Structure 1
Amino acid sequence: MKNMIQSRKENGFTLIELVMVIVILGILAAFALPRFVDLGSQARTASLQGAIGAVKSASSIAHSGWLANDRTSPVDMDGTNVTMSAEGYPTADAAGIMEAAQLSDDFSITAGSITPNGFDSTSDADGDGTAGECSFDYSATTGKVSNTLTDDCV
C-alpha cells in the first residue's frame, strides 16, 4: 500500500520561476535594446527630407507672391519680408529661403548649401572617404533643390 501512495515527483518549472525569468529578460531587453538600435541617424535624415519639402514649398509660394506682386522684392510672407532674386525666387541666404521656409532655427546656409545646425561636418559615417554628407543645395535662379546628401547624417 505504501508504494501506491508514494508521492509523485514532478519535473518542470514552477510558475514563480517562469515569471522571474520573464521579468529578468524584460529588464535586460530594456537596457540592451537601445544600445543596438540607433534611430538618431534616421531621425536626422527624416529631418533633412522635411527641410527639403519646406524649401520646395516656400520657394513656390514666394515665387507665386513675387509674380502676383508685379515682380517686386521683397515678398511679404506672413508678415516677414523675404528677399528675392532677379528670377523671382528667394535668395540663397538667411534673408531669403531660410526666412521663407522658416528653417533658420534648425538649419544653416552657406553658399546655397543647407545643413542641419550642430551637424558634425567631419563625420564619415558611411566610410566612403567623404565626410560631411548631410546637406542639400538650393538654387535662387531656379528655386530648385539638388544634390541631396544623407550618407553622414549621424
Structure 2
Amino acid sequence: MNKQSYARISQQRQGGFTLIELIVVIVILGILAATALPKFVSMGADARVAALGGARGAIAAASSLGRGQFLVKGGTTYAAENTTVGIENGYPAASTAFITAAGLNEDFVVVNPGNSTAGTTGPVTSSTEIAVVPKSVQGTATAATCFIKYTAATTSAPPVITAVPAATGC
C-alpha cells in the first residue's frame, strides 16, 4: 500500500461516533436517570417536612412572644406583624391573626378553628385549634396528613403544638 492510498483511507475513517456507540451512551444515560429519579421525587416530601419543622418553630416563637407580652403588660391582646392577636389563658388564642404573627400566611394555608372534615382542606380542628398546611399540598389528599396544629392554652395547661411525624408521607 502506497502513501497516497493510506492517506485516502485515513481521511475516510475520520467521522463521528458510530451508531452502536451512540446507542450505548443513550442506554447508560437512561440507567443513570432511572436510578437518580426516585431520589429527586422523594425530595419534595423531605422539603415539606423541613418546611413544617420551620413552621413549628415559628409557631413556638410566636407563642412565646405572646406569653412574654402577657407577662410584661397583661391585657387580652398584643400587637405583632401589623396584626392584633388575642390572648386566652395567658397565651395567644388559636386564630388567623396568630398565624399571621408567626409569619406563616404566605407559604401555608390556614385551617381555621372548627374545621369538621379532614380531607383536601386539611385536618379536623376543634374550636380551640388552628392548623397550617403547606400550599404545595393544598387541594390534595396529603393535606389531611401534612400539617402543624396549634391547640390553645387551657386554664391548667400551656398550648400544644402538634407536629406531624415525617413517616406519614407528607
Unaligned ranges ≥5, structure 1: 1-15, 124-130
Which residue of structure 2 lines up, in the alignment, with residue 138 of structure 1? 150
Distance 2:26 2:95 in 1: 55
Question: Among residues 134, 142, 147, which one is paired with 1:116 in the alignment?
Answer: 134
Structure having greater relative contact order (Cα 8 Å, sep ≥ 6): 1
| Within-5 A mapping of 1:10-21 | none
**Does 1:152 find its partner at 2:169?**
yes
**Does 1:56 find its partner at 2:60?**
yes
Residues 84/23 of structure 1: CA separation in 2 closer, same or farther (3 Å cut): same
Q: What displacement does 1:82 show? A: 3.2
2:162 aligned counterpart, secondary structure: strand
Greater mean alpha carbon deviation, residues 35-44 or residues 143-152 = 143-152
**Does 1:77 find its partner at 2:80?**
yes
Q: What displacement does 1:147 show? A: 5.2
Distance 1:26 1:61 in 2: 56
Unaligned ranges ≥5, structure 2: 1-16, 114-129
1:121–1:133 contact (8 Å) kept in structure 2: no
The percentage of counterpart residues that share the same residue type is 26
RMSD: 3.0
Distance 2:49 2:160 in 1: 19
2:69 aligned counterpart, secondary structure: helix
Distance 1:106 1:32 in 2: 32
2:133 aligned counterpart, secondary structure: strand
Number of residue-to-residue matches in the alignment: 127
1:83 aligned counterpart, secondary structure: strand
TM-score under structure 2 length normalisation = 0.60
Q: What displacement does 1:64 show? A: 0.5
Residue-by-residue CA offset, 1:13-43 (whole Å, 9 max, x unaligned): xxx9xxx899767744664344221211111
Greater mean alpha carbon deviation, residues 98-107 or residues 82-91 = 82-91
1:134 aligned counterpart, secondary structure: coil
1:95 aligned counterpart, secondary structure: helix
**Would you tell me which structure has more helix in proportion to its own residues?**
2
